[in-house]
Structure 1
């Protein structure tokens, strides 16, 4: 019957039906191929983290064994105990947390205020000044490293957490992120608030900030990851052991001739947990912030 109906069907309609089915089949194959590539890429990227967790639960002589045993025969949980007892790891944790929290609070204030000014307040040479400020993103850190160190030394902030906090309190990327996000907010909303009697700071505080949760979450994630994992900054400005951050504290497991890889991997696993928690807590706002910041230029 189907063959008879197909024979009775006009030739153009039959050809269109065949072409549509072939297009659907090709689309499904393309989609499955894309998912396969993404799955393999994700597995390839997460493989080092799985190895790190596995190595943190092994004995020292088992870490570089071949073939790799992803699941150890015996779990050495004592590696994590040694990390927290052999060195003042809790102190390094608190130092890093202190720097991160204070830096992010100041950074959110400075970047949101500057982004609001560049986006919603009209003043002479606003766009030119924003372009010049944004151009500082192209300056390598190695170029600014020595001038910043000289400046911090003149301020008397060497061997102090405030050197890292002050240097991290401003961010051209953060200003750009807030400026782009604020540009997507209608000016009519701000004008209505000004007509109702709100001052410029009141508009920023009561109207703008409640609408910028995605941008705030995005900047928090980026700045948290950068500050938490920063190694070069603390290495330059901190010399006292009791002021060390996590990244410097883990250097205790790296000696001149030997490296305690099991303890080093355990310390690395312990150090990435806050980063994962922050990202998981803010990932929904993070996606909205990335999309919202690119709506309007």
Structure 2
């Protein structure tokens, strides 16, 4: 089966980031740094590795710093070049995006993820597309979206990244109702957004990576407000279940919820310890902190 390549991706970045106030009063959450790279950079790098060529940001007021981040910085580049700091210059250049590679669309009202994706419909047209939520940072040997694109080449349709969660936490996610479990790929017969713990059809939760058909955008045109008074992307995907073309993908990697303070701290520790230039000093510090805590107990 031949399927169209996925070359477009939507990044919903219109949220106010209220869980990280007061920092997000002036700094978009998406450019808060995990070690020394903004959250959005991890998502962009993952998309690039998966073959994405067109990047669509769904933004809102107060996100100009996010737009500036991907622009060229001639003065800074010139300063680094004159100082002979070639390594830093290369790091800086890796954040630049070519003219026309990024498009920005405004979401004027906070009406949920489904509405944010719908806002980008005219830039998607009649092509399959990816959606990446920068809050979900995934550490993986092969980037998560790249894994999904390879699996999607075999299945077509719609694919969501999924991971198993404790039953009591199912109410925080969209959850798959499984028709056929094929290992890394599962065929879904339904999707439920934030079910009660005792009503969840499985413990396989959807996280922030999607490959979707343009039919989902058509479904979003008809969507009414669902769970939480928002237009839910899960509901629009669930409409495609009857076609037999909705799949969950058990990705290989560790997902960190950087939309929460605890998850952000956990990711900072994990990514810090994974860095050769930081590992030894940081590990010694953490061990010292743990020893002090034990001694104080």
TM-score range, shorter chain: under 0.3
Q: Which has the higher strand share?
A: 2
Greater RCO, CA 8 A, separation 6+? 1
Q: Which has the higher helix share?
A: 1
- Normalized against structure 2, the TM-score is what? 0.21
- Normalized against structure 1, the TM-score is what? 0.21
